[in-house]
Structure 1
Amino acid sequence: MKDQNQKKPRILCLHGFRTSGEILKNLVLRRWPETVTEKLDLVFLDGLFPAQGKSDVEGIYDPPYYEWFQANKDYTEYSNFEECIAYIENYMLKNGPFDGFLGFSQGAVIAAALPGMQAQGVALGKVNKIKFVIIISGSKFGGKMFGMPKLASNAFSKPIECFSIHFIGNFK
């Protein structure tokens, strides 16, 4: 028998590039079993910036579409990343507490970096420690081909001290 007083994990969900919180909500609630979603308190946030170009989901999902931050075409330079992180932290302060993050695509890149940034003391200093991240079709800043926003420069310098689950593959 389930304890009726058991608190559901509260998860802040970050959508992909040029999509929206509503689109991610539709994907998660339509594709995940209800036996899973009913045990979670999922909160879907829209990115701070309106899409600055064509969305890959135009014609499939209705606008508006958002971005979390912008990058040049070879992903070596980023803009608005600091504003994005401040926006997420402010949202968490006003609407939290949150236990963890779920991120898809561009949202997963942010969700993957946040625990390390929090541990380094450069982000999310006013909110509870992140307990876990759920990464769907994500990647990380840095590496051989990609640059890294200055704020996230040490996000992956040490192993993160929170649980993580990573989903890799086609999201059809």
Structure 2
Amino acid sequence: MEDQKQKKPRILCLHGFRTSGEILKKLISRWPETITEKLDLVFLDGLFPAQGKSDVEGIYDPPYYEWFQANKDYTEYSNFEECVAYIEDYMLKNGPFDGFLGFSQGAMIEAALPGMQAQGVALGKVNKIKFLIIISGGKFGGKMFGMPKLASNAFSEPIECPSIHFIDDKSLETMLGFIDKIQRMTFRG
């Protein structure tokens, strides 16, 4: 039997607003090899083609995608349910996955997924999410932002799901310890 410590955690990676899985892959490739060699990273493109100009035009080649859309003040969301169904369908066809890595808009989605899964409103057909890697993300709700209906109770109860939150480059220093922790978990079970 393969030693559990030798397994690489399989991670579904969700890119930021109006970018792509390929762009996130290029950004993650800048991380030290001591980190990336311990992870099995799978990069997914958002369901919807970008509905406006991307902030990375001229830096990275198109195509660009979005996970969902929101109005200017982030009080109303559209296509969020379709986005979550798309992620679950991808996981069913290409999984299993142990956790998520998300950047910006992708991080907002992944932060809500464990709560939605625990409540039985999303990801009911896939294994329990074991951890999150959140890069420059936030959460739905709060004083300034609304919340998609499907995620309305995602943060109402504490969820036992280890996570690491990247705010700056110094966060990479703690990543190795986090990877060691998640490698000790029982995967794909």
Classify the TM-score, shorter chain: over 0.9
TM-score normalised by structure 2 residue count: 0.85
Measured in 1, the distance between the counterparts of 2:57 and 2:3 equals 43
Q: Could you tell me how far 1:162 is from its partner in structure 2? A: 0.8
CA 1:171/1:101 → structure 2, altered by over 3 Å: closer, same or farther?
A: closer
Check 1:34–1:146 CA distance in 2 against 1; reply closer, same or farther (3 A cut): same
* Equivalent pair of 2:84/2:122 in contact (CA under 8 Å): yes
The answer (yes or no) to whether the contact 2:9–2:187 under 8 Å persists in 1 is no
Change (3 A) 1:74 1:5: closer
Percent pairwise identity? 91
Q: How far does the alpha carbon of each residue in 1:40-98 deviate from its partner, in whole angstroms, 9 at most, with x for none? A: 00000000000000000000000000000000000000000000000000000000000
Question: Runs of 4+ in structure 1 displaced over 3 angstroms?
Answer: 1-5
Please state how far the C-alpha of 1:117 moved relative to its aligned partner. Answer: 0.5
In structure 2, the CA distance between the partners of 1:57 and 1:171, relative to structure 1 (3 Å rule), is farther
Structure 1 residue 104, shift from structure 2 partner:
0.1
Match of 1:146 in 2: 145
Question: Are residues 171 and 100 of structure 1, via their aligned partners in 2, closer, same or farther at CA, if it must alter by over 3 Å?
Answer: closer
Call closer, same or farther: CA 1:134–1:5 in 2, change over 3 Å.
closer
Post-superposition CA distance 1:90-147 (Å, at most 9, x none): 0000000000000000000001000000001000000000000000000000000100
- Structure 1 vs Structure 2 CA RMSD: 4.6
State the shift of 1:155 in Å: 0.3
Equivalent residue pairs, number:
169
- What TM-score, normalized by structure 1, do the two folds share? 0.94
Residue range with higher mean Cα deviation, 60-69 or 158-167: 158-167
Gaps of at least 5 residues in structure 1 are none
- 1:6 CA displacement: 2.2
Q: 1:160 to 1:36 in 2, by over 3 A?
A: same
CA contact (8 A) 2:67 2:106 kept: yes
The aligned counterpart of 2:8 is 8
- State the Cα deviation string for residues 8-66 of structure 1 (Å, max 9, x = none): 100000000000000000000xx211111011000000000000000000000000000
State the distance in 2 between where 1:96 and 1:108 align.
19
Once the two structures are TM-superposed, the CA of residue 7 in structure 1 deviates from its matched residue by 1.5
Alpha-carbon shift at residue 166 of structure 1 (Å): 0.3
Deviation at 1:4, TM superposition (A): 9.8
